[in-house]
Structure 1
């Protein structure tokens, strides 16, 4: 592969992609019903979604498993966006919770010019995956952290860098905190492409990285052997619970009862469905329902 990126070596980029893929490992483990309901799903929502979207039970279970995997994978992609800067000149990625808890620190002895003309020598970065992931409390806390940094260092700026921003930008961040609009020209909201450009000196550096990324991911996956394909058993186990429910008239209602048991097995009425099944193998019942009652296998 003819390497085109000047701001990061092929060796380091491949190493970083490998580290990111390694973090997918746990999420590729198969889902059984215990793992599926680890945080207790909302049966009512699942049944509404299944009916409104006209999905099969298998599709709904698969979608929920994908959602749970995807939620964890977002953290892994955050790792990719943040720690790649450890390989870029003048950038430093502090250990988690160290050095003020900043995600990236960028220093340049020659000075860093901001859009309004100010020149500083250090930028402290708080990085977010997506522009709409901060609630008002998180916004206020982050902004006060940046204000405090400026009070302690008058030769710096603070950036909120967003991987998925509303548009390409490097602007003054002016959020509403405690009902009041606030701003400081050295506290800025910056899309990740603009931060790449600032750090590397190459206007389209982020674009360049994106263009080589698919091929590198493919090569890493191929080199490491086949990525483990999970075999999820949730749908099959729910069907077994549906059979135990004793509901004969409607397969759909039987599956609905099985889903209800994930969250409501100890609730009035539902608990009888377990207690009345004395003719069913007791060990199987214990295995299916014990985790739902919070006592584990």
Structure 2
């Protein structure tokens, strides 16, 4: 039977990924209450100044800060969501090697997820890990996937500076958008995900609602 949502993973798998992310949101909200907000060494003096000088209700400032903390805690879960989605594509799985997030089952592709704005020492360490692993898996491609980049970047990863530059011919840096397209062998895989998110979330929430009756 034809899939309702995406043509590269099953509807059941997609709904399970949504359910897992929803659970992460619930956990994050439960972990950050007003009580825990004040116990996290919040600068109440600054809070008062922000409220008075910016003419913003203190209660609204607190709510905004709680949302910011929830958003910060959920970022890792978004990365996990992409891992689970991509791990459901035929021929791929969530990485079992330490530090590898997604891999091809035939060991021709390995990927690590991260962001574009990370400290240089961490970036260099990730590159070194991929480059060293490339020496073991001589026929594989290796990707550093930028979760916060939705451009069309897909290029050989080069680290260093103008005087000293290092690369490995099978280690690439790629946007999350292009990575979806790369491993599905489609040109619109990420667009499919974006276009169907609202539909699948609504279907999932409707299922939750019906179970509560």
Question: Would the TM-score normalized by the shorter structure come out above 0.5?
Answer: yes
Give, in whole Å, the separation in 2 of the partners of 1:58 and 1:175. 46
Counterpart residue number, 1:105: 103
Q: What does residue range 48-197 of structure 1 map to in structure 2 within 5 Å?
A: 48-51=49-52, 53-94=54-95, 98-107=96-105, 122-128=108-114, 130-132=115-117, 134-165=118-149, 167-176=151-160, 180-197=164-181
The number of equivalent residue pairs is 208
Secondary structure, in 3 states, of the residue corresponding to 1:164? Answer: coil
Flag the 1:170–1:39 CA change in 2: closer, same or farther, 3 A: same
For normalisation by structure 2, the TM-score amounts to 0.86
Deviation at 1:201, TM superposition (A): 1.5
Flag the 1:48–1:167 CA change in 2: closer, same or farther, 3 A: farther
Deviation at 1:204, TM superposition (A): 0.5
Give, in whole Å, the separation in 1 of the partners of 2:159 and 2:141. 17
Secondary structure, in 3 states, of the residue corresponding to 2:104? Answer: strand
Deviation at 1:13, TM superposition (A): 0.9
Flag the 1:203–1:10 CA change in 2: closer, same or farther, 3 A: same
Give, in whole Å, the separation in 2 of the partners of 1:192 and 1:224. 29
Q: What does residue range 4-15 of structure 1 map to in structure 2 within 5 Å?
A: 4-15=5-16
**Which moves more between the two structures, 152-161 or 25-34?**
25-34
Flag the 1:173–1:46 CA change in 2: closer, same or farther, 3 A: farther
Counterpart residue number, 1:22: 23
Flag the 1:189–1:45 CA change in 2: closer, same or farther, 3 A: farther
Q: Does structure 2 retain, via aligned residues, the 8 Å contact 1:102–1:124?
A: yes
Deviation at 1:85, TM superposition (A): 1.5
Structure 1 alignment gaps of length 5 or more: 109-120, 227-297
Flag the 1:11–1:38 CA change in 2: closer, same or farther, 3 A: same
Q: Does structure 1 retain, via aligned residues, the 8 Å contact 2:149–2:177?
A: no
Give, in whole Å, the separation in 1 of the partners of 2:50 and 2:109. 45
For normalisation by structure 1, the TM-score amounts to 0.63
Deviation at 1:218, TM superposition (A): 1.4
Secondary structure, in 3 states, of the residue corresponding to 1:189? Answer: strand
Q: Does structure 2 retain, via aligned residues, the 8 Å contact 1:131–1:166?
A: no
Deviation at 1:126, TM superposition (A): 0.5
Flag the 1:26–1:185 CA change in 2: closer, same or farther, 3 A: same
Q: Does structure 2 retain, via aligned residues, the 8 Å contact 1:172–1:189?
A: yes
CA RMSD of aligned residues (A): 2.5
Give, in whole Å, the separation in 1 of the partners of 2:170 and 2:48. 49
Secondary structure, in 3 states, of the residue corresponding to 2:112? Answer: strand
Output one character per residue of 1:145-186: Cα deviation in whole Å (capped at 9) or x when no partner: 112102222112210111221621110111338x84322231
Deviation at 1:214, TM superposition (A): 0.6
